[in-house]
Amino acid sequence: MAAAGSEHLRVGFVGAGRMAEAIAQGLIRAGKVEAKQVLASAPTDRNLCHFRALGCQTTNSNQEVLQNCSLIIFATKPQVLPDVLAEVASVVTTEHIVVSVAAGVSLSSLEELLPPKTRVFRVSPNLPCIVQEGAMVIARGHHAGNDDAELLQNLLEACGQCIEVPESYVDIHTGLSGSGVAFVCTFSEALAEGAIKMGMPSGLAHRIAAQTLLGTAKMLQQEGKHPAQLRTDVLTPAGTTIHGLHALEQGGLRAATMSAVEAATCRAKELSKK
């Protein structure tokens, strides 16, 4: 396989759940890979219909994916992955780039379960990959080279930001960004419900809350400001915002959010040890 380019690359997905679909959709929408060059496998057709709707090929055979594709994204549940890798190990070659998106499964575990010198990566994605606004980190195994990492990053940037990091950051990213999507949704819901309580219709409140989160995130990214700076820009003496912030501090929002990221990260680390 020519690691430097993706013109004729065939991408395989072992596991066809929501995250696999999100990555595949991002790759296809961005034109990184043609739908017909994607092959996905799952034990049943329940999730494969989503891949077929994208124009991808599907199969119930995991080994068939390895036999037909050079870059393989394993998107199974963490507890299932060791058995799946054992099933396909006999058809893994040095031509393959093996990518795992399973939370908590270490690079050393992946390398132990696969043939010697297999090129292995861990990717920690998040669900906004489906709208090409994901936040992803990748970590490479011992035998993955710079060209392999460059190829993978180039592909995954179709789904959002993709940054190579030391493996020790991957579990933290799971807590911050993987689980963080649910944390942000909880805050968005609460924000809207505050407006509903004050008399705004539900649909309108949720629409404005989501746009507020989107606009704020864009400002943080584009202006490169620390959140505290942007927050200060909104404050006026004795104004509405400082009264609201006081209520948030009384409710322990900051500490609760830090604890949520910590708890999710610790759970990812627990999974790594199993």
- Which residues line the annotated binding site for NADPH? 62
Q: What backbone phi and psi angles, to 5 degrees, belong to 235?
A: -80, 135
Contact call for residues 156 and 138 (beta carbons, < 8 A): yes
Place of tokens 């299932």: 80
- Which residues line the annotated binding site? 62, 75-78
pTM: 0.85
- Which residues line the annotated binding site for NADP(+)? 75-78
Q: b/e string for 22-34 if b means 16 or more Cβ within 10 A? A: bbbbbbbeeebbb
- Residue 173 CA: distances (Å) to CA of 48, 78, 135, 152, 222: 28, 16, 9, 18, 21
- Residue 2: its pLDDT value, please? 36
Residue closest to 41 by CA, chosen among 32, 27, 29, 24: 24
- Residue 7: its pLDDT value, please? 57
Per-residue pLDDT of the chain (274 residues; tens, 9 = 90+): 333 345 578 999 999 998 899 899 989 988 899 999 999 999 888 889 999 999 999 999 999 999 999 999 999 998 899 999 999 999 999 999 999 998 888 999 999 999 999 999 999 999 898 888 999 999 999 999 999 999 999 999 989 999 999 999 999 999 999 999 999 999 999 999 999 999 999 999 999 999 999 999 999 999 998 999 999 999 999 999 999 999 999 999 999 999 999 999 999 888 777 6
Six token digits for residue 5: 């380019």
- Residue 127: its pLDDT value, please? 87
- Residue 1: its pLDDT value, please? 35
- Residue 124: its pLDDT value, please? 92
Angle (CA) 121 84 171, round 5° = 40
Q: What's the number of CA atoms in the CB half-sphere (13 Å) around residue 182?
A: 7
Q: What's the number of CA atoms in the CB half-sphere (13 Å) around residue 69?
A: 31
